[in-house]
Amino acid sequence: MSSAKDKLYGWHLALGKVDYQKTLDWQHGLLQMRQQGFARDTIITVEHPPVITVGKDGHEENYANLSPAPIKIERGGDVTYHGPGQLVAYFIFNLTRRGRDLHKFMDDIQEGIIRTLADFDIEASRGTENTGVWVQEKKIASIGVAVKKWMSFHGAALNLNTKLSDFEQIHPCGLSPEVMTSTEKLLGKKLELADVAKRIVEHYCTVFDTNFMPIDLDTLAEDVESQEGSNAI
């Protein structure tokens, strides 16, 4: 383990509640900046309005007859749901600097979630047959990343105060919707997303040996916009 002074430096961009497509555009902009050396490794924490996305491994039978149609994206994995009360974390990382070890990268993403849940006395673990973070036989967090030229984006979704019935319109990651759970279901109370986001980034500072410093969206907006070549921000 590196000492604090030896850690890498990264950014934490806390967005609050933002539309999924807009956040995806920002990921693409940051990805280009990271590829060109104009940005640090960045964790984005965000909450989305209701949306369903399908990864590269999606099977149509798991999201048949959806209206509107789901958004198809570059990450691995099948279909999943994002919505209010769910904390989403995206990782725009240069994995070449981290040993080009995708297995460790996925393990580290899950480890940060496991440690965060432990703060609330929830004992969780990595899935053995299915990816994600599990509490016994229930899935509380889904993982789906994309990697281009050893640059990562997309990430993980942790169910906090999520309305679990919203998963019933799909087979999340090919599983029965009844397998999904949340911290609210387990604890009988709601958690503040901003508080959990702060805690999870603190754990990722340790897991990734990186000091993720807060960065304001206004500081990045013009640069991200210029990388996208649009007026999305």
Q: Looking at 13-17, 38-42, 218-222, which range is the least confident one?
A: 218-222
On average, the pLDDT of the chain sits at: 90
Sign (positive or negative) of CA dihedral 179, 180, 183, 189 = negative
Least Cα distance to 191 among 111, 86, 107, 105 occurs for 86
Residues 167-187 have a mean pLDDT of 92
Q: Is 173 one of the annotated active-site residues of the chain? A: yes
- Of 221 and 69, the structure prediction assigns the larger pLDDT to 69
The single residue of 109, 133, 173, 224 carrying the catalytic annotation is: 173
104: which 2 tokens?
Answer: 């460790």
Domains of the chain are 4-228 (3.30.930.10)
- The verdict on whether omega for the bond into residue 68 sits within 30 degrees of 0, i.e. cis, is yes
Give me the percent of the chain exceeding a pLDDT of 70. 92
| Predicted confidence (pLDDT) at residue 157 exceeds the cutoff of 50 | yes
| Predicted confidence (pLDDT) at residue 48 exceeds the cutoff of 60 | yes
- The verdict on whether omega for the bond into residue 70 sits within 30 degrees of 0, i.e. cis, is no
